[in-house]
Structure 1
Amino acid sequence: MKTHLELAQLFKTIDCWSTIGTDTQYRVLEYSDEVVIIFCPSNSKADWKINFSFPKKPYKRMKTPFYVHGGFLKEWKKINDHFLKEAAAYNKPITVCGWSYGGAMATLCYEDIWFKYPQKRYIIRLVTFGSPRVIGAYNFKKIWVRWHGANLYVNGSDIVTEVPPVLFGFRHVAKTKHIGGKKFLIGYFKPKKYHHIDGYIESLGDVTCKTAS
C-alpha cells in the first residue's frame, strides 16, 4: 500500500481529475494491493473556508446523534451514492485521501463507507492533508471509533486546519499529526507556504528521512 508521502505526491502526478456534484474533484485509482479514492481542493470561487454553516445530522433516525458541518454535508449528500457504489465494487483495501476541501470530502466519504459497509471497516484507511474541521463536538466521544486510526496531517501553521473554529462547536475526527515547523501567528498568514501540497510533501519527506536515519 502507498505510504503517506506517496499519497501526497499523487496530487502532483494526477493530470486529469473527474468532477462531480457542485465542484468536487476526485479520482479512483486501482492498484494491485489497494484502491485509492482521492479528493483534491475545490476550484470554486466560493470561500468555503469561512462558511459559517450550522452543524446538521448526517442521517435520519440516528441512535447516537452527531453533527456535521452543514456546507460540507450538503455537497457530500449530492455525490455519496457514487462513491458508495465505487467502494462496493472492490474487495481489496481502500484508502480514502484528501487535501484541503478534499480532506473534508474524504472524511465524510470514509465515514459513509464505514457506516454502510461494516465488512469493510478493517480494510479502509483515511489520510488527509490540510483538512478543515468537519464534525461537531457534540456526542463525538460516542462515535469516535468511526474514524479510528485516521491520519490527519497539519503542516506548520496551516490555517485551513483551524477552521471552522473550535468555538463554533467543530473538531477534527482524530488527533492531528503535526509536521514541518512549529505553529506561529505570522505563519497563519502564509497559506501558500504551509497549506500547499508542496509543503506537505517536503515536510513528509523530512519525516521519512529522519525515520530512516
Structure 2
Amino acid sequence: MEPLIAWGKFVGVAYEMYKIDHRSPGTPADFPVGWERVANLTMTPRLESIKEKEFGGYIAQSLSDASLQAVVIRGTESSLDWLMDFEFKLETFHEVPNSGKTEAGFTNLYRSMTVEYADPSRPSELLSETLDHLPAGTKLVVTGHSLGSSLATIHAFLAGSKNFDVELITFASPRVGDSAFVEAFERMNIANTRVFNKPDVVPTVPIELFGYRHLEPGIEINSGLYPIKHSVSCYHALSTYLYVMGDTQANIDKCRAGASS
C-alpha cells in the first residue's frame, strides 16, 4: 500500500493548496519531495454549489526523471452536496472515437479544466490540449480523489488514446462511463488502480441500473474495521482512506470514533 499512500498524499497536497487559495495557490512548503510544480489546474463547474473558476489540482514534474509527470486532481472531501447537482446522464465521449459514453457532468467539467503554468511566459491552455504537444516518451501518472477521480479517469483515458504511457490511481471514484467506455479503456492497457472504501457511498454511484460500470478490478478497504466515526463524510474523506491504507500520519481527528462533530 505504500506507493498508493504516496499518491494519496499528492492529492492531499492539492486539498491543502485549495484551502490556502481557492483560485491560484503557490507551491506549499510540504510539496512532494523530488517534484516541481509546473502548473496549477483550474476548473469551472456548472453546478449549483460551485459557480466560479477554482483551483482543481496541479501538474508536477519529477526532478529525477525528466520524462515523468504527475497530474493531480482534488475532489470534494467534507461535503457531498455535489452529488445532488448531477443528473447522471450519459453522453458520447466524442474526443475518442468508438469509446462509449461518459457521465455528462463529469465530462463537461473535464472539458473546462485549464492549465495555468507557473512560468508566466507560457499561456494557459485546456488540460486536454496539453496532450497534443507533450514530448514523445512522456510518462504520466494521473491521480485523484472523489469527483477528482472521475476527471482523472477521463484524462488518463484520453492520454492513453494518444499512446502515452499512463498510469491511473484513484480513490473513492464514482462510476464514470458505460460498459463500452470500460471496454475501450481496457483495450488501451492503461495501468489502473481504483481504491474504494466499502461503506463509502460515492463509489456506488451512478448506479449500474442507469448503464454505468466501474473500471475493474477495484481494491476494497473497509473503515468499518477501524476507529472511524460512522458518518457519510468520514467514510468518504481522503484522510480516512490514507489511514485505513496504513498512513500513520493521516489526520483523522475529526473522524475518529468518539470525536465531537
* TM-score normalized with structure 1 length: 0.78
The Cα of 1:38 is off from its aligned counterpart by: 0.5
Count residues in correspondence. Answer: 195
Q: Is 1:100–2:146 an aligned residue pair?
A: yes
C-alpha contact (below 8 Å) 1:147/1:174 kept by paired residues: no
- Matches for 1:55-134 after TM superposition, within 5 Å: 55-59=90-94, 62=97, 64-79=98-113, 82-87=126-131, 88-90=133-135, 91-115=137-161, 117-118=162-163, 120=164, 123-134=165-176
The structure with higher relative contact order (CA 8 Å, sep 6+) is: 1
The Cα of 1:3 is off from its aligned counterpart by: 1.7
Tell me, in whole angstroms, the C-alpha distance in 2 between the residues paired with 1:46 and 1:182: 20
* TM-score normalized with structure 2 length: 0.65
Mark the CA change 1:28 to 1:48 in structure 2 (over 3 Å): closer, same or farther.
same
- Matches for 1:118-197 after TM superposition, within 5 Å: 118=163, 120=164, 123-138=165-180, 140-141=182-183, 143-146=185-188, 148-181=190-223, 190-197=231-238
Give the partner amino acid of 2:233: K
Tell me the residue number matched to 2:83.
49
Tell me, in whole angstroms, the C-alpha distance in 2 between the residues paired with 1:24 and 1:171: 29
C-alpha contact (below 8 Å) 2:111/2:128 kept by paired residues: no
Q: Which is worse superposed, 19-28 or 82-91?
A: 82-91
Give the partner amino acid of 2:59: V
Tell me, in whole angstroms, the C-alpha distance in 2 between the residues paired with 1:198 and 1:61: 34
Give the partner amino acid of 2:241: Y
| Secondary structure at 2:242 match in 1 | helix
C-alpha contact (below 8 Å) 2:142/2:168 kept by paired residues: yes
State the identity as a percent.
18
C-alpha contact (below 8 Å) 2:160/2:190 kept by paired residues: no
Mark the CA change 1:76 to 1:109 in structure 2 (over 3 Å): closer, same or farther.
same
More strand by share: 2
Structure 1 segments, 4+ long, off by >4 Å, are none
Structure 2: stretches of 5+ with no match in the other structure: 19-39, 46-53, 115-124, 248-261
C-alpha contact (below 8 Å) 1:153/1:178 kept by paired residues: yes
C-alpha contact (below 8 Å) 2:223/2:235 kept by paired residues: no
C-alpha contact (below 8 Å) 2:102/2:177 kept by paired residues: yes
Tell me, in whole angstroms, the C-alpha distance in 1 between the residues paired with 2:3 and 2:183: 29
| Residue of 26, 29, 36 corresponding to 2:57 | 26
| Secondary structure at 1:16 match in 2 | helix
Tell me, in whole angstroms, the C-alpha distance in 1 between the residues paired with 2:205 and 2:211: 11
Tell me the residue number matched to 2:240.
199
Give the partner amino acid of 1:8: G
1:80-139 CA-to-partner distances (Å, cap 9, x unmatched) read 762234444354421000100000100001111112x22x1xx21000000111111247
Tell me, in whole angstroms, the C-alpha distance in 2 between the residues paired with 1:60 and 1:92: 20
1:145-190 CA-to-partner distances (Å, cap 9, x unmatched) read 236431110023111000111111111122211023469xxx9x72
Q: Which has the larger radius of gyration?
A: 2
Give the partner amino acid of 1:137: S
Q: Let me know the Cα RMSD of the aligned residues.
A: 2.9
